[in-house]
Structure 1
Amino acid sequence: MALLDEAHRNELIFTDGAWRAGSGETIDVIEPATGDTLGQLALATPGDVAAAARSAAVAQREWAARPHVERAAVLRRAAGLWAEHAEEIAWWNVREVGAVPGMAAFAVHTAEQECWEASSLPGRPYGELIPSGEPRLSMTRRYPVGVVGVIAPFNVPIILAIRSVAPALALGNAVLLKPDPRTAVTGGVVLAALFREAGLPDGLLQVLPGGRDVGEAVVTDPRVPVISFTGSTPAGRRVGELAGSHLKRAHLELGGNSALVVLSDADVDTAVNLAAWGSWFHQGQICMTTGRHLVHESLYDDFVERLADKAAKLPVGDPARDQVALGPVIDAGQRDKIHGLVTSSVGGDVRVAAGGDYDRLFYRPTVLAGVTASTPAFTEEIFGPVAPVARFGTLDEAVALAGDSEYGLSLGIVTRDAMRGVELADRIPTGIAHINDQTVNDEANAPFGGIGGSGTGSRFGGAQANIEAFTETRWITVRSQAATYPF
């Protein structure tokens, strides 16, 4: 039985356990590879957000009071449904997002793992005993925050929604989910349909696709005390400002410009394989994408030549119909941003070693050689399939180049001496570091997050990070006899 039917694809707001058209304008769901219309959706409005928040707050109280085994069972059923409907969901992800089939399958598998991991949260200890100087029992206890606002982007909509939705629900919260309108089927409708089939009570997951006004309504609604936002750094700053002015917690997972450092003892073919995947997987539309390649001067020319040769041989095209390594970028605006950074970077010693052009939304994997710390494609997040390559001579130079960024998300280091890699990683501030691997890695049980312009630190993945993100701590004391005071 299909998870999605025609009604779900054309009336994409899901509130109070039912599908209905939103109050906003109707837009087309476009397949980026072909320009074909896959369906239509009516966007939500701030008024829809307010109504959804009111009902979510009511539903949440009953949900939090349910036995922990019931909440865990819903998450386990959801995990099984991701596996059961994997082929259908992945097909939609390929068509709507432009992901190659392998990427789509990975996203669905990760969503399944996120639900399995979240299913363990309801049964975990929710407090601890602490010492007290008074004759009393003193303890801390974790409580659900209430309603969590989740704002997810277009690039990996399944993973970037479920990694907040699943733990928030498991810990006794309700969720308002605002997916990007460009990818609202796999980023929102799929989650609503799947959790309803898993038995999640009505009102606990509300799906509200919309634009900036809807996102601001989610952030500012007084019934939503915690915001989980994934998106660009400029948008994240705005979310953080709004949340701060309303005294709310905002968990911000933002952009990146992650470095892959190739040391002098590295095997070049190994490094090139890692570099290609890090920069071009999913068309470079991943926050952890390798945006800067720092290669020791003794390997530099060989590295650039081999990486450019690999770029020239990778097939680019429609992932739903052809065997390709790269699909389309999401839309013309994103393509033009990518191409603008490439063209503005070329000149002087900076040259295009491979790629640098496009056909419709299909951008060729690109290698830029001769870049420096001042090259636009090196300093800015590209969010496209572009590999800028700079050289360094000493480890101190590598540290300076890698650390010269407002971002601090992921780091890769390639070396035959793993401990040397660890020592180097200790000198470069990032939220994530991988020795002898590229920068794009994610596991449901591992804490994920960046520093600086990449966000507000690790708060997704792993029991402790998720519990801290989606619960509040209360101090509780108990005396056998009432305390007495001198007045």
Structure 2
Amino acid sequence: MQYFERLNKSFINGKWVEGKSSRTYDILDPYDDSVITTVSLATEEQLTETFKIAQTAQKEWAKTSPEQRKNVLQKALEYLKNNHDEIINMIVRESGGTIHKANGELIASCVELEESIQFADKIYNIEEISSSTEGKVNHLYRLPLGVISSITPFNFPMNLGMRTIAPAIALGNSVVHKPDIQTGLTGGQIIAKAFEYAGLPQGVFNSILTDLTEIGDGMITNPIPRLISFTGSTAVGRHIGKIAGENLKRVALELGGNAPFVVLSDADVDRAVDAAIYGKFLHCGQICMIANRIIVQKNHYDEFVTKFTERVKKLKTGDPKDSSTVIGPVINGRQADKIMGVIDQAKTDGLRLAVEGKRKGNIISPYVFVDVPNNSTLAQTEIFGPVAQIIPAETDDQAIEFANDTEYGLSAAIFTTDLEKGEKLALNIDAGMTHVNDQTVNAQANVPFGGNKASGLGRFGNPWIVEEFTSTKWVSIQEKYRNFPF
């Protein structure tokens, strides 16, 4: 058993704790379904106790200096860098991601830590505000929010966990974290090990290995957490939002997407094809920002389809441990079944295939549908798999209309040689992020990351995450005696 495979216990109050459920869960390698490790699941009672522990620990952590918090974050970063190769190996094995994907994820996780170090001093600073009352001094403070409940998915488990965990800890909060059990090691327990190495006080960060059968809605209904940070499907996000609203809890929700990749009449087709290939097939399309709809103006349509399909046929599928592999397995058999169901429905609906892939186990080689109507079931579905669809548009204006014709609004891309026009049109697409002459999968720790419409609420990234993860407090000091009218 390799070292990280041994981190198959929950991390609660600074200790590695066996789950008390009678049920266990096998974490599998999606490539061959071999067992990486077996987890004893934590129970609802353990989760409830963990929230109490986190609440107590946060009160002391909130009193620490910026230097203390920065030091812990810096040491956690050091741990990730020192264990680079082993972490890459585990990301590949546990998520089925390619080596390229794993490297990108680890780099992004480190960047989140580095950026969090930059704003560890943003709490308790005094901002003075003018007053209309004579002799009154107004001070504005930014305070830690308290306990944060963190729930993350399987696709980029370490990065999507770190973008909540690192800012929360930097700002004096404590965290109870539940990674998707399928990627529990990279999504939670390696992060826990990094903070254990860094000397983070017990109870400030806790990572629970469990599932919904054990804890139900415990991560969102518990009265202790002040904010619920969730990345995942829109359906689950709506459920969380409803419960959080009833309990007046804050939420940070990064949900589903149906990203348009728009190729305008004056685009450079070769560059657009390059970007579309990467933006569609990175991590088998299992990304909320993936280019789900490729919308091409008719002047370039035939050329784009020909060049895109030629490139797709050359993409290597297979073992993600092979550095030349582009398309590895999807996360599990259920997801593969779901993707194949989408493909079968598109065939039933009469949509035309330009490239027909095939399934072998959890590996699905790329499919490409062409001449897809933007109002079709396929175009309005977040596929989350290696299935491309190319949609013709009569005009540039229609291409932008198509881009907006979705309930989602996370990421988008526009290809044009007129950069000024591209930026203006970017503002017309109802999405939290639009990229001109690039693909749709972009993330930085110092930009406002988040979606509109059914793609979520709130923004990650510095300094926007500071607002999300803190509370503001007005303290007034009446320095001169105030005369009251009665």
TM range (shorter): over 0.9
- The whole-number CA distance in structure 2 between the counterparts of 1:305 and 1:66 is 60
The alpha carbon displacement at 1:485 in A equals 2.8
Cα 1:51–1:412 shift into 2, 3 Å:
same
- The whole-number CA distance in structure 2 between the counterparts of 1:6 and 1:338 is 30
The alpha carbon displacement at 1:4 in A equals 4.0
Cα 1:197–1:460 shift into 2, 3 Å:
same
Cα 1:137–1:328 shift into 2, 3 Å:
same
Q: Which amino acid aligns with 1:409?
A: L
Alignment of 1:23 with 2:48, yes or no, is no
Structure 1, residues 275-315: CA drift from partner, whole Å, max 9, x if none?
11111001001110000000011111121121111111111
8 A Cα contact 2:330 2:362, kept in partner: yes
Deviates more, 1:143-152 or 1:472-481: 472-481
SS in 1 for 2:175: strand
Alignment of 1:212 with 2:212, yes or no, is yes
Listed as ranges, the gaps of 5+ residues in structure 1 are none
Deviates more, 1:120-129 or 1:326-335: 120-129
- The whole-number CA distance in structure 2 between the counterparts of 1:4 and 1:114 is 24
Q: Which amino acid aligns with 1:370?
A: D
The alpha carbon displacement at 1:357 in A equals 2.3
8 A Cα contact 2:372 2:389, kept in partner: yes
Pairwise mapping of residues 218-229 of structure 1 onto structure 2 (< 5 A)?
218-229=219-230
Deviates more, 1:382-391 or 1:356-365: 356-365
8 A Cα contact 2:173 2:204, kept in partner: yes
- The sequence identity of aligned pairs, in percent, is 39
- The whole-number CA distance in structure 2 between the counterparts of 1:52 and 1:215 is 15
Cα 1:6–1:452 shift into 2, 3 Å:
closer
Determine the structure 2 residue equivalent to 1:292: 293
Q: TM-score, normalised by structure 2?
A: 0.96
8 A Cα contact 1:339 1:356, kept in partner: no
Pairwise mapping of residues 380-419 of structure 1 onto structure 2 (< 5 A)?
380-419=381-420
SS in 1 for 2:330: coil
Pairwise mapping of residues 14-93 of structure 1 onto structure 2 (< 5 A)?
14-24=11-21, 25-93=23-91
Determine the structure 1 residue equivalent to 2:378: 377
SS in 2 for 1:336: helix
8 A Cα contact 1:76 1:116, kept in partner: yes
Pairwise mapping of residues 244-393 of structure 1 onto structure 2 (< 5 A)?
244-321=245-322, 323-346=324-347, 350-393=351-394
Structure 1, residues 391-418: CA drift from partner, whole Å, max 9, x if none?
1121221121110000000010111111
Cα 1:373–1:18 shift into 2, 3 Å:
same
Equivalent pairs, count: 482
Cα 1:189–1:62 shift into 2, 3 Å:
same
Pairwise mapping of residues 182-201 of structure 1 onto structure 2 (< 5 A)?
182-201=182-201
- The whole-number CA distance in structure 1 between the counterparts of 2:373 and 2:77 is 46
Structure 1, residues 311-348: CA drift from partner, whole Å, max 9, x if none?
11111111124631111000111111111112211256
Alignment of 1:8 with 2:7, yes or no, is yes
- The whole-number CA distance in structure 1 between the counterparts of 2:151 and 2:35 is 24
Determine the structure 2 residue equivalent to 1:174: 174
- The whole-number CA distance in structure 2 between the counterparts of 1:127 and 1:342 is 57
Q: Which amino acid aligns with 1:147?
A: V
Cα 1:403–1:376 shift into 2, 3 Å:
same
Q: Which amino acid aligns with 1:253?
A: E
Determine the structure 1 residue equivalent to 2:426: 425
- The whole-number CA distance in structure 1 between the counterparts of 2:424 and 2:282 is 28
The alpha carbon displacement at 1:78 in A equals 1.3
Determine the structure 2 residue equivalent to 1:449: 450
Alignment of 1:128 with 2:127, yes or no, is yes
Q: Which amino acid aligns with 2:165?
A: V
Structure 1, residues 70-113: CA drift from partner, whole Å, max 9, x if none?
01111111122211111111110000000101110111111111
Cα 1:323–1:203 shift into 2, 3 Å:
same
8 A Cα contact 1:165 1:175, kept in partner: yes
- The whole-number CA distance in structure 2 between the counterparts of 1:59 and 1:3 is 32
8 A Cα contact 2:262 2:400, kept in partner: no
Structure 1, residues 335-372: CA drift from partner, whole Å, max 9, x if none?
11111112211256621111342111111122110100
8 A Cα contact 2:137 2:478, kept in partner: yes
SS in 2 for 1:434: strand
- The whole-number CA distance in structure 1 between the counterparts of 2:5 and 2:369 is 45
- The whole-number CA distance in structure 1 between the counterparts of 2:127 and 2:76 is 30
SS in 2 for 1:313: coil
Cα 1:328–1:237 shift into 2, 3 Å:
same
